[in-house]
C-alpha cells in the first residue's frame, strides 16, 4: 500500500520538475522564448497554462498507477475528497519548482544537469516509495525540508486511512515551496530584457 500510494507522486514530479524546465530551456535556445514573452498577454497566463497542461498530462499516470496497483495487489484504497487538493497542490508545487528553475537558470546545459540531478535524487534517495524512518537522521531531516516527502504524504493521506498522520505541516511546506519558487520565477522574469 505504501509503494502504491507513492506512485501518484512519482507521476507528478517528472512532468513539473523535469519536463517543464527542459521545455523552457529549449525555448530559450530556439528563440521562441522571447517571442512568447512579447505577445500581448499577461505573463501569468503562460504560468497558468503551464500548470494546467502539465497537471492534465500527469492525471492519466496518477489514475493508471493507482488503478493497476489496486487491481494487481488487491489494495483497499479509501479515496477521499482530499485527493483533489492533494494532487492539485502537488502538481502546482512541482510545476512551480520547474517554472522557477527554468526561468532562473540562464544556461540550458546547467538546467539539464539540475533536472537530471532532481530526478535522480527523487527516484533513488527520497522517501516517496518507502518510509522516511528508513533514512539516516540527517537525510530524513533534509527531506523534512524538501517537498518530495510532503507531496507523497498529502497524496497518501487522501488515498488511505491510518498510513499517514497529521498532514497539515506537509500542506504548509508544499505551499511554502510553491510561493517561494513563484517569487524566484517572478524575479527571473523581471530580470529579463
Residues 6-64 pLDDT 10s: 889 988 888 889 899 999 899 888 888 778 778 888 877 878 888 899 889 989 988 99
Residue 133 has what DSSP assignment?
G
Q: Which of 127, 193, 189 is nearest to 164 (CA)?
A: 127
Dihedral (CA of 64, 66, 71, 72) sign: positive
Q: Which of 184, 189, 152 is nearest to 171 (CA)?
A: 152
Per DSSP, the three-state class of 77 is coil
What's the Rg (C-alpha) of the chain? 17
Other Cβ atoms within 10 Å of 31 Cβ, number:
8
Q: pLDDT-based confidence at 79, cuts 50/70/90?
A: confident
- The predicted model scores a pTM of 0.88
Angle between helices 43-73 and 168-191 (to 10 degrees): 140
Q: pLDDT-based confidence at 85, cuts 50/70/90?
A: very high
Q: Residue 140: pLDDT above 90?
A: yes
Whose grid coordinates read 498510513?
163
Q: Please answer whether residues 143 and 127 qualify as being in contact, where contact means their C-beta atoms are separated by less than 8 angstroms.
A: yes
Q: What is the DSSP string of 86-121?
A: HHHHHHHHHHHHHHHHHHH---HHHHHHHHHHHHHH
Cell numbers representing residue 8 in the block? 501518484
pLDDT at site 192 = 61
Angstrom distance (rounded) from CA 162 to CA 39: 49
* Percent above pLDDT 70 for the chain: 99
Amino acid at each position: 500500500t505504501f509503494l502504491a500510494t507513492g506512485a501518484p507522486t512519482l507521476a507528478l514530479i517528472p512532468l513539473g520538475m523535469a519536463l517543464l524546465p527542459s521545455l523552457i530551456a529549449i525555448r530559450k535556445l530556439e528563440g521562441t522564448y522571447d517571442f512568447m514573452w512579447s505577445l500581448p498577454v499577461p505573463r501569468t497566463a503562460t504560468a497558468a497554462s503551464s500548470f494546467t497542461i502539465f497537471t492534465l498530462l500527469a492525471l492519466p499516470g496518477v489514475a493508471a498507477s493507482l488503478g493497476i496497483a489496486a487491481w494487481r495487489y488487491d489494495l483497499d484504497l479509501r479515496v477521499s475528497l482530499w485527493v483533489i487538493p492533494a494532487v492539485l497542490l502537488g502538481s502546482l508545487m512541482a510545476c512551480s519548482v520547474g517554472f522557477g528553475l527554468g526561468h532562473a537558470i540562464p544556461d540550458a546545459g546547467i538546467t539539464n544537469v539540475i533536472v537530471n540531478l532532481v530526478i535522480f535524487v527523487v527516484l533513488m534517495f527520497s522517501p516517496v516509495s518507502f518510509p522516511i524512518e528508513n533514512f539516516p537522521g540527517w537525510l530524513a531531516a533534509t527531506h523534512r525540508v524538501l517537498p518530495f516527502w510532503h507531496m507523497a504524504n498529502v497524496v497518501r493521506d487522501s488515498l488511505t486511512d491510518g498510513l499517514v498522520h497529521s498532514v497539515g505541516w506537509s500542506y504548509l511546506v508544499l505551499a511554502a515551496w510553491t510561493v517561494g519558487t513563484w517569487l524566484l520565477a517572478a524575479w527571473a522574469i523581471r530580470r529579463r530584457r
